[in-house]
Amino acid sequence: MSASPLPVSAQILRGVFLLLLLVTGGAKLLDMPGFYGVVAAYRALPEVLVPASAWALALTELGLAIWLAAGRLLRHAALLVVLLHLMYLGWLLAALARGLELANCGCFGVYLARPLSWTMPLEDTALLTLALVFWLHARRARA
């Protein structure tokens, strides 16, 4: 069975995730000390791991955006987009289940603060669904 080219709908999703990851990763890098505070507010990691984890999140998003822009091995990049959104969804749900009240979810770093709310898992589920569609298309394509 030969692979087919990436359909237009999947190219659009690739662009959407590329831009989203570029904006979110870049926004986090604008104020890393502030983003450390956001990551620490989730109380999911030992304090000593917060700076490295904050850097890892921001650089992973930027690296994944660059990978999507390069257009190579998109099936693997798309899978990482799925896993990243799955992780974020789990992280949000765990924080909400623990009753955390955060003034900033950290989705867009420090400067575009949004309070953590129960609508966010719905948004992340929608993004996760789109990421899965992108991944399924990328698996079938040559890219």
pLDDT one-digit tens code per residue, 115-131: 999 999 999 999 999 99
Any domain includes 12: yes
User: Cα separation of 107 and 116, whole Å?
Assistant: 10
Examine the pLDDT at 54 and tell me if it is beyond 60.
yes
The total domain count for the chain is 1
- Provide the residue range defining the domain that includes 14: 8-140
Examine the pLDDT at 143 and tell me if it is beyond 80.
no
- C-beta contacts of 124-128 below 8 A and 24+ residues apart: 124/85, 124/88, 124/89, 124/92, 125/89, 127/20, 127/85, 128/82, 128/85, 128/86, 128/89
pTM listed for this prediction: 0.90
Any domain includes 122: yes
Any domain includes 2: no
Q: What is the per-residue pLDDT for 3? A: 55
Any domain includes 1: no
Share of the chain above pLDDT 70, in %: 96
Any domain includes 45: yes
Q: What is the per-residue pLDDT for 111? A: 84
What is the rounded average pLDDT for all residues in the chain? 93
Q: What is the per-residue pLDDT for 109? A: 87
